[in-house]
Copies of this chain bind each other. A is one copy, B any other.
Amino acid sequence: MRKNDPEGVRSRILDAAAELFQDRGYSASGMQTIFEKADVTSGGFYHHFESKKDLGLAVIRERVAEAVQQTWIAPVVAAPSTISGLKSVFGSIASELDANQAVRGCPLNNLTLEMAYADADFQELLEEIFANWQRELERVIKRDQKAGVLSRTSPRKTAAFVIAVYSGAMAMSKVKQSSDPLRTCLSQLTDALQAA
């Protein structure tokens, strides 16, 4: 069965690794544990990935970037305004943390703080994802400014600020194992954007 489904195996490895990286981090996820969780042999693994690092970069490219796009960028872009988009995104992430009764944090920030200094290839790829995130946010901020619903402070800097608030709030939610910091920072952020 598996031999006839190489894409299924590859996908299963990516899912298992993404889960393990969220639970314990990249470095603490041993190859044997990854093989077991993905239900794959060593040979099966190396058919798809050259090395653990090759897997790590693929997880970022095909799982983490996708998560940022689906759970964050897409809903904010689709919302009637940046502020309503932020309320909806922070709100649904906070509700999900409450439902899980555990905070594993933002996969992009987790891997960034673990790997961006230690490995230049991780750094480059992670930086691209942050840059795309900032560009997309800048675009909706500009749109709102044209519509007169957001004041004319630098859209690029405002976008960076929003991402910083979200990233830092998730770090604080992770350390407290509570969605409170995320909710507090959302209300502080929307106040700041409306007052600007």
**Which A residues contact B (CB, under 8 angstroms)?**
22-25, 27-28, 102-105, 109-110, 112-118, 123, 126-127, 130, 153, 157-158, 160-161, 163-169, 171-172, 174-177, 181, 184-185, 187-189, 191-192, 195-196
Q: CB distance B171 to A109 under 8 Å?
A: yes
Cα A164 to Cα B158 with chains together (Å): 15
Which residues of B lie under 8 Å from residue A184 when comparing CB positions? 157, 160-161
Nearest-CB residue, chain B, relative to A122: B175
Cα A117 to Cα B114 with chains together (Å): 14
Cα A126 to Cα B103 with chains together (Å): 14
Q: CB distance A25 to B114 under 8 Å?
A: yes
Q: CB distance A188 to B158 under 8 Å?
A: yes
Cα A127 to Cα B177 with chains together (Å): 9
CB-CB under 8 A for A168 and B164, given A27-B25, A117-B23, A188-B157: yes
Q: CB distance B185 to A196 under 8 Å?
A: no
CB-CB under 8 A for A175 and B116, given A160-B184, A168-B168, A181-B160: yes
Classify the secondary structure of A's interface with B.
helix
Which residues of B lie under 8 Å from residue A105 when comparing CB positions? 113, 116-117
CB-CB under 8 A for A175 and B102, given A118-B25, A158-B188: no
Q: CB distance A164 to B157 under 8 Å?
A: no
For the complex of A and B, list the 6 residue pairs with the smallest distance between their C-beta atoms, beginning with the closest: A168-B168, A164-B168, A167-B168, A192-B192, A27-B28, A161-B188
Q: Which residue of the partner chain, among B117, B157, B192, contacts A174 with CB atoms under 8 Å?
A: B117
Which residues of B lie under 8 Å from residue A114 when comparing CB positions? 25, 110, 113-114
A155 to B: closest C-beta gap in Å: 12
Q: Which residue of the partner chain, among B28, B117, B158, B168, contacts A163 with CB atoms under 8 Å?
A: B168
CB-CB under 8 A for A113 and B171, given A23-B118, A24-B118, A160-B185: yes
A43 to B: closest C-beta gap in Å: 26
